[in-house]
Amino acid sequence: MPTFRRIASFALAATVLTGLQAQVPVRDAAELQKQLDRLQTLGSVLYIAAHPDDENTAVLATLSKGRNLRTAYLSITRGGGGQDLIGPDLGDGLAALRTQELLAARRIDGAEQFFTSAVDFGYSKTAEESLRIWNHDRVLGDVVRTIRTFRPDVILTRFPPDARAGHGHHIASALLAIEAFQAAADPSRYPEQIRAGLRPWQATRLLWNHFRFTDDAPKPAPGSLTLDVGAYDPLLGRSYGEVAAESRSQHRSQGFGVLAQRGQREESFELLAGRPAKADLFEGLDLTWSRLPGTGEVASLLREARQGFRADRPAEVLPRLLRALTALRALPSGLQADPLVQAKTAELEAVIAAAAGLWVEAVADRQSLAPGDPLTVNAALLLRGGHPLVLESLSLEAVTPEGARSLMSRQDGKPLPDNLPRKETFTFTVPADTPLSQPHWLGGPGSAIWAGLSESPAPFRLRARLAGAEGPFEVVVPVQFRFRDPVRGERYQPLAVVPPALVNLAEQVQIFASPKAQEVRLKVLAGASAASGRVRLVVPAAWIVEPRESAFTLDRAGEEKDLSFRLTPPAGPASGELRVEVDTGAGFTPARSLVRLDYPHIPLQTLLPEARARLERFDLRHNGHRIGYVMGAGDDIPQALRRIGYEVELLPDEALAREDLARFDAIVLGIRAFNTRPALRTLKERLHAYVAAGGTEVVLYTVNTGFPGINAAMVTDAIGPYPFKVGRKRITDETAPVRFLLPGHPVFHWPNELTAGDFEGWVQERSLYDAEGWDARYTPLLGMADPGEPEDSGALIVAKHGKGTYVYTGLAFFRQLPDGVPGATRLFANLLALGHAHE
């Protein structure tokens, strides 16, 4: 019978899983000494803000590495509503990327990471809108749960609870923190959490960490507390400000690479709730083991271990560390269940393994696998510290939302030889209930028990139980895939558990500009070692698909087969959804696609969204077919244009500089091109000459932050043939009414006749980074406003330049076109045809 390690309570689940994910690898004796220092301190602090990259990494690094406090960042959202500077990922893909960027940052600054269930729906101008869309009560419950689980002594917010915070999400994050500060201590609030094992928790104080993005920012209020975040740490060989810069620079998708700040630098904090303090954030708090009854022996042993530590012989402190662990485990069961004790136990076991010079790994023979597949895991243990240890047992465990169970176990009882690897091989069949590698926060397995955690745990892990003369300890490591990268050397990737067969549609949006049938292409991939079955398309009643289904046979994992269907739309305008179903022997079920995010600064991420496509039937005409595209930060507009019949050629700098641009009917500069393509500083003149000769240039939004050092700066302010500025105005309400300022302009009539109805069905937002202060030779064409605000006319401006037309637009085409929004597609086709319009 398999052995199950059941998780007794929600509190214990969150604490144990967080501890496993949050351990910072100890790489050298200096870091080990810092971890020994950390074992002496029992305080904790929770930092709360709205998005990935909102956190103050200087504060996190100082509190975690300088004050040795258990430190965590709670990001209300995962940032999927933003933009991406390094690729085309939006929505769920961007949220997954930014989640991993936060985890990369935490591995550097030493803090832990939590989230709520709130979805980043894009820029919001009010907290009321944010809390309504997020569902205030649900997200407040998430914050309360995090506080009751993590049990911080002090809570910090990045933003004030008012208009000074700017973004509605920012304001809402502070309001949630203030409300949760009280609610977490009230057992009548969210009582289901109490019934699940959590206990009420009252943090001592809640403070706002003033932000200073510019030199002329308001001064902190009198009586504010301060913290020096620029102190130098000789064990690290750098200051906390330097650590913070490396941490913050992990937010690459947002262009947040920063320069390190060296020297003294004070952060200030203003009390929002709780007990006042005069000099220090943790004033009046006991941050020692004395706060826990019966832990005097533990504290004494840990203190002796720290005092006896020698960098050249770290294993000499193992006897005291092992006795301290034994004493911790001898505490009453109620105290052992305390999240603080759980966290310190996990920290202590990690320090024991590091002091012993112990290396433990579990490597699978493949990265991608399916339930029912055979899998071999090679385990290796290497003892390098010189202190004798006995390997008592090895257990390979499967992890599911219901708990962890042992798949295979080996009893040993033999001493580990010094600096000679001990190897064991486990071969087994992947259980049928192994969770697929769809993140729990995207509806994958474990959405309840793992809620709030950064990511789902690895599907398999190795548990090694070892013992010294003074007592036993355990090391638990995830099963991973290891490979050699020809450039970067040894690399590890997390395992991906996938269905036996996956289906990737060639297009996630199918647009029909006429009643004619079109081909729907898809690719079936073998997730299992072999797969066969049938695929069918499920479409709305008015649509006709042929054939009804197609068979496939795949003989090995990774093999692919191309299939195609013919889809006939209705005669008139229509919208709907196409779903793919697959049958591999147990009946038709929704098929899943394979999406991988592979960036050098994060682990490989696997997403398994359902295979489906948006169907749009609307009349569309275009004039001018050959488009040059200057890619900026990355978007999917070129593919969206190809989908509707354009020939699109991506233009590198060399082509812009030397090739004949007159062959293009229009040239489009993608989002943030003027942030990411330095050559445009000079090549813009060649583009303007192309316009003067009769071409059409369409420039999609670029970013002008106004904050030095934040995001990417524009490579030039002069991006048009005549002066204008890129502002920060945006229309966040995607349903905001749109007014045609010059109704007779060709852009509204040719080749597609536009009406107000073409601005229905837009997604997330109307526009961002609109133009302002433009020269009189530009003509604004659209007027729009968010509720309660004056009309803005900078979302679309055009100008005649010589024989051609220049366009700057903040309209969110990078969202609308890939999503197949009919009106936005028709408007963009008209913009591309301006060079052929008859005025």
Euclidean distance between CA atoms 159 and 208, whole angstroms: 6
Q: What is the pLDDT of residues 363-383, one digit of tens each?
A: 999 999 999 999 999 999 999
Q: What is the pLDDT of residue 222?
A: 83
Residue 390, pLDDT above cutoff 80: yes
C-alpha distances out from residue 652 to 683, 700, 720, Å: 11, 17, 20
Residue 288, pLDDT above cutoff 80: yes
Residue 200, pLDDT above cutoff 60: yes
Q: State the average pLDDT over residues 314-340.
A: 94
Q: State the average pLDDT over residues 800-813.
A: 98
Q: What is the pLDDT of residue 836?
A: 81
Residue 98, pLDDT above cutoff 60: yes
Residue 575, pLDDT above cutoff 70: yes
Residue 709, pLDDT above cutoff 60: no
Would you tell me how many other CB atoms lie within 10 Å of the CB of residue 265? 18
Lookup: tokens for 120? 């980043």
Q: What is the pLDDT of residue 447?
A: 87
CA 427 to chain centre: 34
Residue 235, pLDDT above cutoff 90: yes
Band (pLDDT 50/70/90 cuts) for residue 213 is low
Euclidean distance between CA atoms 73 and 177, whole angstroms: 12
pLDDT-above-70 percentage for the chain: 95
Band (pLDDT 50/70/90 cuts) for residue 640 is very high
Contact 724, 674 (CB under 8 A): no
Q: Which residues share a beta bridge with 538?
A: 579
Band (pLDDT 50/70/90 cuts) for residue 724 is very high
Q: Which residues share a beta bridge with 80?
A: none
Q: What is the pLDDT of residue 256?
A: 87
Q: Between residues 217 and 702, which one has the greater pLDDT?
A: 702
Q: What is the pLDDT of residues 481-513, one digit of tens each?
A: 999 999 999 999 999 999 999 999 999 999 999
Q: What amino acid is encoded at 512 in this protein?
A: F
Residue 550, pLDDT above cutoff 60: yes
Question: Exposed, middle or buried, 735 (CB in 10 Å: 0-12/13-18/19+)?
Answer: exposed
Residue 6, pLDDT above cutoff 60: no
Q: What is the pLDDT of residue 218?
A: 65
Contact 246, 254 (CB under 8 A): no
Q: What is the pLDDT of residue 212?
A: 67
Q: State the average pLDDT over residues 757-763.
A: 97
Nearest to 455 by CA among 424, 419, 496: 496
Dihedral of CA atoms 20, 78, 636, 712 in degrees, nearest 10, equals: -100
Residue 24, pLDDT above cutoff 80: no
Q: What amino acid is encoded at 53 in this protein?
A: D
Nearest to 651 by CA among 632, 637, 675, 671: 632
Band (pLDDT 50/70/90 cuts) for residue 426 is very high
- Count the alpha carbons within 13 Å of 604 in the hemisphere toward its beta carbon: 17
C-alpha distances out from residue 196 to 14, 199, 286, 397, 448, Å: 12, 9, 28, 25, 12
Strand pairing class (390-400; 460-468): antiparallel
Q: What is the pLDDT of residues 710-721, one digit of tens each?
A: 445 899 999 999
Residue 8, pLDDT above cutoff 50: no
Q: What is the pLDDT of residue 217?
A: 61
Q: What is the pLDDT of residue 799?
A: 98
Q: Residue 135 — left, alpha, or beta (φ > 0 → left; ψ -120 to 50 → alpha)?
A: left
- Count the alpha carbons within 13 Å of 521 in the hemisphere toward its beta carbon: 6
- CA angle, residues 56, 634, 717, in degrees to nearest 5: 75
Q: What is the pLDDT of residue 452?
A: 80
Nearest to 613 by CA among 515, 503, 501: 503
Q: What is the pLDDT of residue 215?
A: 53
Q: What are the backbone dihedrals phi and psi of residue 20, each rounded to the nearest 5 degrees, phi first?
A: -65, -40
The kind and range of the H/E element at 168 are: helix 168-183
Would you tell me how many other CB atoms lie within 10 Å of the CB of residue 795? 26
Residue 3, pLDDT above cutoff 50: no
Q: What is the pLDDT of residues 676-700, one digit of tens each?
A: 999 999 999 999 999 999 999 999 9
Band (pLDDT 50/70/90 cuts) for residue 18 is very low
Contact 183, 140 (CB under 8 A): yes
Q: What amino acid is encoded at 687 in this protein?
A: L
Helix then strand then coil, in percent of the chain rounded to 5, is 25, 30, 45
Average pLDDT, the chain: 93
Q: What is the pLDDT of residues 123-176, one digit of tens each?
A: 999 999 999 999 999 999 999 999 999 999 999 999 999 999 989 999 999 999
Q: What is the pLDDT of residue 15?
A: 44
Residue 16, pLDDT above cutoff 60: no
DSSP string, 235-298: TTTEEHHHHHHHHHTT-GGGT-------S--EEEEEEEEES--SS-TTTT---SGGGSTT-HHH
Strand pairing class (509-512; 612-617): parallel
Residue 9, pLDDT above cutoff 50: no
547 prior amide bond cis, ω within 30:
yes
Q: What is the pLDDT of residue 509?
A: 96
Q: Between residues 636 and 15, which one has the greater pLDDT?
A: 636
Nearest to 83 by CA among 259, 257, 252: 252
Euclidean distance between CA atoms 510 and 419, whole angstroms: 60
DSSP string, 734-778: TT--EEESSTTSGGGTSSS---GGGGSS--S-SBSS-EES--TT-
Least confident of 10-19, 241-250, 514-523, 573-582: 10-19
Euclidean distance between CA atoms 475 and 477, whole angstroms: 7
DSSP string, 101-161: HHHHHHHHH--EEEE-S----S--S-HHHHHHHHTHHHHHHHHHHHHHHH--SEEEESS-S
Nearest to 518 by CA among 542, 545, 538, 549: 545
